[in-house]
Amino acid sequence: MSSTGGRPRSASIEDQRAKSSLVYKEDIFPGLRFEAELKALLALKQSKFQKVEVIETFFGRTLITDGKTQSAEFDEHAYHESLVHPAMLQVASQTPPRTIFIGGGGELATAREVLKYTCVERLVMVDLDETVVTICQEYLPEWGGSTTTDPRFELIIGDAHEYILNSSDKYDVIIMDISDPIEAGPGICLYTKEFYEIAKTKLTQHGVLVTQSGMAESIPTAMAYHTPPTHVDPSCFTPIHNTLSSAFDTVVPYTTHIPSFGCDWGYNLAYSGPPNAIFVNQLIEQYIQGAHDSLRFYDETTHCRMFALTKPLRMFMAQDDRIITKDDPIFMY
Amino acid sequence: MSSTGGRPRSASIEDQRAKSSLVYKEDIFPGLRFEAELKALLALKQSKFQKVEVIETFFGRTLITDGKTQSAEFDEHAYHESLVHPAMLQVASQTPPRTIFIGGGGELATAREVLKYTCVERLVMVDLDETVVTICQEYLPEWGGSTTTDPRFELIIGDAHEYILNSSDKYDVIIMDISDPIEAGPGICLYTKEFYEIAKTKLTQHGVLVTQSGMAESIPTAMAYHTPPTHVDPSCFTPIHNTLSSAFDTVVPYTTHIPSFGCDWGYNLAYSGPPNAIFVNQLIEQYIQGAHDSLRFYDETTHCRMFALTKPLRMFMAQDDRIITKDDPIFMY
Amino acid sequence: MSSTGGRPRSASIEDQRAKSSLVYKEDIFPGLRFEAELKALLALKQSKFQKVEVIETFFGRTLITDGKTQSAEFDEHAYHESLVHPAMLQVASQTPPRTIFIGGGGELATAREVLKYTCVERLVMVDLDETVVTICQEYLPEWGGSTTTDPRFELIIGDAHEYILNSSDKYDVIIMDISDPIEAGPGICLYTKEFYEIAKTKLTQHGVLVTQSGMAESIPTAMAYHTPPTHVDPSCFTPIHNTLSSAFDTVVPYTTHIPSFGCDWGYNLAYSGPPNAIFVNQLIEQYIQGAHDSLRFYDETTHCRMFALTKPLRMFMAQDDRIITKDDPIFMY
Amino acid sequence: MSSTGGRPRSASIEDQRAKSSLVYKEDIFPGLRFEAELKALLALKQSKFQKVEVIETFFGRTLITDGKTQSAEFDEHAYHESLVHPAMLQVASQTPPRTIFIGGGGELATAREVLKYTCVERLVMVDLDETVVTICQEYLPEWGGSTTTDPRFELIIGDAHEYILNSSDKYDVIIMDISDPIEAGPGICLYTKEFYEIAKTKLTQHGVLVTQSGMAESIPTAMAYHTPPTHVDPSCFTPIHNTLSSAFDTVVPYTTHIPSFGCDWGYNLAYSGPPNAIFVNQLIEQYIQGAHDSLRFYDETTHCRMFALTKPLRMFMAQDDRIITKDDPIFMY
């Protein structure tokens, strides 16, 4: 059937008639999900490795792979600035970071943040899935900005694990911007003790490795999962921390709330030698082109928030000593 | 973040990881809705009159206007055959139907059914919303089939009410394939006593008018709404029946289950003179090109099912005497 | 936090603030579900055999076992009258039905319908799950009515399969009111050729067996599942029909729309000898206490609707010859 | 229908059959909601002022009023400790807090936290809705603990606004634990400049007022709502901050992530005189019975996280100068 014999209607009537809706749902934990109005379904492809979608919701345009939000227009800068700058500035507090490696990073937004440092001379990024990179350039072009035309940037489609293993290059910063270690997912080996031990040998003297570390929701983690943690745990934040600690002298965990992920999100920063404090605002002015204006989320106060973990998360971490190895992996929900 | 360092995964793993979903929801009644996986969002446009979407769900490709399913790939033939053939064959039992009018019918599937009759010489269709017609031809081309190239078919973008009013033509069958009479919707005047009285004057001697009549769910209607029916009733099936009865000698209500509408759906067939039974199978063979092979839903047994209403629906109809007039309209949910 | 310092609010404000909701969802097909506002959660128990819930939704109070609606206040009479009366009247057209067996039937509503026949002398009901029977008597008391105090009624908690096997009694009507044959569900053996062959030997000369037969949605079944049917098919209506046909001379399939089940629902009626037509209204007056006033859904016209199947369902049935045996079972979704 | 003829099933089968679910949904923003499995519906009452529900979900037992989560078992300590201790310790850094007022606080958990201070001599709590208090004591008894038997505790059912206005008592700490300022909600006047000016006169020399201040989600607030803020803004965090600042010398905003609220949550701490830093861990040991063992969420590091706001939230606050007055109120979504 179809309409006929009518007249244009006003906006207020439109609302009144909203009897249907398109919705995007995503599980956060078993038994908890968020549900966002779907404003557009921009791309939906099955790559060789995963299902790739670009949708538009409350959070703006959003990249989804295998049903998990990877980053969203409204807070991708929070996710990416949090991933990149603490590691870069940690090195910068000792020596200018010049050679950088990114594992994953298909949206090119991690690369965008790295290239804000004028001291960077070479940035190598190795992502497995060309489809993701292509889709992001088409549908999320401003996330990569002028990355691909920057002569310092080198994009390799391939396996980050093999690349690191076989290359003799050393890096000032290695940034692991890869999918969560879910069962049978593509990136499990990149979260193991074995990988971190190899990666360590590819760092320069003051080099730093940082990895996104999945959800780090202190309260549900500590409360709902206070029963002995299992090998399919909703959170891998602590195991990743522990595993890095088995390979590096200093590992600093930090977290920030990413609304489009529906929870607090974790990262771990690893390097040799003792922990050292950094003066964030001063280093930003010194190293980043455009200084504070070029950052939308990160500064010294934000840094303080991220690195001050809540009591229940600290307590949960203190009693979990699991380590991820090739033979004894741990999977996220 | 993005994937890297992995390996292609098997289909069974795919399922295991289905932690998110795209969903289409539509209200059936207040307090009841269906929810279908959204496989694709093919078109989303705001026309001058309504919001028009083509999506793909469990029911296949589906046309939605203003948040209400209009017809869906898997059962559009059930909806359209039920609308067209009882009226056409009712006339055919007396005289071959030659001149036909469709009000609405943007998907062109109603026209497709009409043009199956070799005796039809002229088919005029008047739909208000060119956007609907265009979108259907692009995204649902097989619904219209070869309609638009059939020389007997005449498509007019305009107001069916005005067209009927101002034209001096007479028709053997008038088919009203328009949106439900929802408040402030475009087609309310096409469900009034005033319109039916005019339409009657545009019919030939044995002419028949049929109109889609909205949901006709006998049980919830009779049970949940046994309180005095109000002017915003979830069902207009009985008022439409009564209103037609105020203008025509014989009005025959019938219903059929349309899964993609989530309920039993109603139609009313109106003509002058006393009711007469028809021999459906024999008339199909006589009049329809390809005879039984060309129909997927409708035949004599299906006809019996449609015209035998359940006891609660008959009882509900018996106690509801509301009539729809311009000054005293009735709206559907 | 809590409220303070305020004033009572009006009902219209209430609506405006409805920012949350309690919802009941149930899958109808893979990829399609209905979603009803949850008005109350009256009971939730894990019995020895299944999860049993009584909730209140749009459909009124509703019994759910293992996540499938068993019957609902607004249309339980449609489900139960459709199950009981065609079989009872089929026998009554030959001889008064006196001894009746119900397998399952925990709500006691099937028994309620049977006991409306004054000619019935003995009604044996065997249900496996005492929890279901107890919960129904507490939360859905009017469904059973005065069943339990009727001296003709005999309730046995136990295994209907074993009971039928081991008893030497014969029955005029055997009514199978059991859960769908879902994988690993409790009642699979009650849908097999082996069971029907035994049951047949427990019927009197004019005896009839009727069984609920799961969803019988002609269109999605015929359209979406035109690929070769598999052993986990969403619908078992045809296999049940075929399996009965392998044991009985005459098997008559029929269906009716049950809104709370979200689809058309199937039954199969089986007996020895050739098919014979019955005069429904006349038999109702003759046999049923209170005659037409005591039935809310079923009469001759409703009967006609139920037994006239749509063309796609008939076509689908014609090309599916699967039979259910112990060694080669078929499971419903 | 019901089950029969079966056998008990294993837990793994249970999962496989989960084809239905009970769900609790709550809007976080327009266009975004969370959806949690409903494990139990423990209470559902309409009080004189609001709809009150106690449900059980992923977050444990949860109090809902008018469709908004008030507090949940898994993180109520995070909400309540964050509300109470910064204010109490701020006073304690100058003089032991002895007389405390709570506006709202129906769960009694705010009172529970206050009574952990041995120096407290009198705690007056005024909540409007006796139904909330009663329901919490029945269904969430451990949230109040031994509060009601503590001789220092005085519970008044009434209007906090009037009570404060008419009493001549002075307090060391005033804690506003009331519902968000939603339109037509009961507590709007408790968020106005007029109220804060009165409340200030009821504080002792070193007295502190703290109020829960609704969602304070920096990123969506700053990004999605960078258009000029309207009078029905999803967040009232900044207006509450500004309004308090119009009455007090020092107002310190702070936030923490409350998973069961689906976002970062805001508080504002107000007092006379210049800002002063406090030594949280030392004060906890000095004043709180059981010291660190009695707190599950709050300590010095947690305090640092809460008071270090992210850059986008600080930037958003800097450009929003709205003040809430009786004549010019601002409502939350």
A79 to chain B: closest CA residue: B1
C191 DSSP 8-state letter: G
Q: What is the mean pLDDT of chain B?
A: 87
Reply yes or no on whether the pLDDT at C185 is more than 70: no
Is D2 in contact with C183 (Cβ distance < 8 A)? no
Reply yes or no on whether the pLDDT at D277 is more than 90: no
Reply yes or no on whether the pLDDT at B236 is more than 90: no
Is A126 in contact with B4 (Cβ distance < 8 A)? yes
D265 to chain A: closest CA residue: A257
Q: What is the mean pLDDT of chain D?
A: 87
Q: Any bridge partners for residue C174, and if so which?
A: C101, C209
Query: pTM for this structure?
Result: 0.84
Chain B residue numbers touching C266 (CB-CB < 8 A): none
pLDDT of residue A332: 67
Find the chain A residues whose C-beta atoms sit closer than 8 A to any C-beta of D.
25, 28-29, 31-37, 57-60, 74-75, 78, 217, 219-220, 223-224, 256-257, 259, 262-264, 295-299, 301-302, 304-305, 308-312, 314
pLDDT of residue A6: 38
Q: Which residue is listed with tokens 């009150």?
A: D52
Chains that touch B (3 or more CB pairs under 8 A): A, C
pLDDT of residue C17: 40
Q: Which of B43-47, C8-12, C265-269 has the lowest mean pLDDT?
A: C8-12
pLDDT of residue B224: 46
d(C-alpha A71, C-alpha A59), whole Å: 9
Chain A residue numbers touching D301 (CB-CB < 8 A): 308-311, 314
pLDDT tens digits, residue range D250-269? 999 999 999 999 889 999 99
d(C-alpha C266, C-alpha D86), whole Å: 65
pLDDT of residue A15: 37
**Amino acid identity at A138:** E
Of the candidates B115, B96, B97, the residue with the CA atom closest to the CA atom of residue B105 = B115
Is B220 in contact with C59 (Cβ distance < 8 A)? yes
* The Cα angle at residue B257 between residues B304 and B305, in degrees rounded to 5: 10
pLDDT of residue D230: 41
A207's CB contacts (< 8 A; 6+ apart) are: A91, A170, A171, A172, A173, A174, A271, A272
CB A267 within 8 A of CB A88: no
- DSSP secondary structure string, C193-212? HHHHHHHHHTEEEEEEEEEE
Is A26 in contact with B16 (Cβ distance < 8 A)? no
Higher pLDDT, D327 or D53: D53
Rounded to an integer, the average pLDDT of C72-93 is 95
Rounded to an integer, the average pLDDT of C235-259 is 93
pLDDT of residue D3: 52
Of the candidates D92, D233, D191, D73, the residue with the CA atom closest to the CA atom of residue D139 = D73
Is D29 in contact with A58 (Cβ distance < 8 A)? yes
Reply yes or no on whether the pLDDT at D17 is more than 80: no
Q: Give C138: exposed, middle or buried? Use CB within 10 Å, 0-12, 13-18, 19+.
A: exposed
C176 DSSP 8-state letter: E
d(C-alpha B237, C-alpha B247), whole Å: 16
Q: Give C151: exposed, middle or buried? Use CB within 10 Å, 0-12, 13-18, 19+.
A: exposed
Q: What is the mean pLDDT of chain C?
A: 87
Number of Cβ within a 10 Å radius of residue A200: 18
Catalytic: D177?
A: yes
Chains that touch A (3 or more CB pairs under 8 A): B, D
Higher pLDDT, D187 or C241: C241
Chain B residue numbers touching A159 (CB-CB < 8 A): 4-6
The per-residue pLDDT string of chain A (333 residues; one tens digit each, 9 = 90 and over) reads 665 443 333 333 333 345 678 999 998 887 889 999 998 999 999 999 989 999 999 889 999 998 899 999 989 999 999 999 999 999 999 999 999 999 999 999 999 999 999 999 999 999 999 999 999 999 999 999 899 999 999 999 999 999 999 999 999 999 999 987 765 555 778 899 999 999 999 999 999 999 999 988 765 554 444 444 444 455 789 999 999 999 999 999 999 999 999 889 999 999 999 998 899 999 999 999 898 899 999 999 999 999 999 998 888 888 888 888 888 887 766
D255 to chain A: closest CA residue: A305
**Amino acid identity at C177:** D
Reply yes or no on whether the pLDDT at D126 is more than 50: yes
Q: Give B3: exposed, middle or buried? Use CB within 10 Å, 0-12, 13-18, 19+.
A: buried
Reply yes or no on whether the pLDDT at C252 is more than 70: yes
pLDDT of residue C157: 96
User: Which pLDDT band holds residue B233 (cuts at 50, 70, 90)?
Assistant: low
| Residue A90: φ, ψ to 5° | -60, -45
pLDDT tens digits, residue range D285-315? 999 989 889 999 999 999 999 999 999 888 8
pLDDT of residue D19: 62
User: Which pLDDT band holds residue C13 (cuts at 50, 70, 90)?
Assistant: very low
Catalytic residue among D127, D177, D180, D233: D177
User: Which pLDDT band holds residue C171 (cuts at 50, 70, 90)?
Assistant: very high
Is D304 in contact with A302 (Cβ distance < 8 A)? no
pLDDT of residue C151: 97
Q: Which of A29-33, B100-104, B276-280 has the lowest mean pLDDT?
A: A29-33
pLDDT of residue B218: 61
d(C-alpha B205, C-alpha B210), whole Å: 15
Residue C2 has its nearest CB partner, among D17, D48, D106, at: D106
Beta strands in chain D (DSSP E): 20-29, 32-37, 40-46, 51-57, 60-65, 68-72, 99-104, 122-127, 153-157, 171-177, 203-215, 232-233, 250-258, 263-271, 331-332
Rounded to an integer, the average pLDDT of D198-212 is 97
Chain A residue numbers touching D299 (CB-CB < 8 A): 311
For the packed helices D280-287 and D76-92, what is the interaxial angle rounded to 10 degrees? 90
User: Which pLDDT band holds residue D331 (cuts at 50, 70, 90)?
Assistant: confident
pLDDT tens digits, residue range A6-43? 333 333 333 334 567 899 999 888 788 999 999 899 99
Rounded to an integer, the average pLDDT of B275-289 is 92
Rounded to an integer, the average pLDDT of C259-286 is 93
- Judging by DSSP bridges, how do beta strands D171-177 and D99-104 pair with one another? parallel
Could you tell me what percent of chain B has a pLDDT over 70? Answer: 87
Residue D19 has its nearest CB partner, among C55, C67, C126, at: C67
Catalytic residue among A75, A172, A177, A180: A177
pLDDT of residue B108: 97
CB A161 within 8 A of CB A128: no
Rounded to an integer, the average pLDDT of B242-249 is 96
Q: Which of A169-173, B228-232, C239-243, D238-242 has the lowest mean pLDDT?
A: B228-232
Is A37 in contact with D35 (Cβ distance < 8 A)? no
User: Which pLDDT band holds residue C328 (cuts at 50, 70, 90)?
Assistant: confident
pLDDT of residue A131: 96
pLDDT of residue D229: 40
Rounded to an integer, the average pLDDT of D1-20 is 42
Could you tell me what percent of chain C has a pLDDT over 70? Answer: 87
| Touching status, chains A and D (3+ beta-carbon pairs under 8 Å) | yes
Reply yes or no on whether the pLDDT at D168 is more than 60: yes
User: Which pLDDT band holds residue D200 (cuts at 50, 70, 90)?
Assistant: very high
CB B192 within 8 A of CB B120: no
Reply yes or no on whether the pLDDT at D105 is more than 80: yes
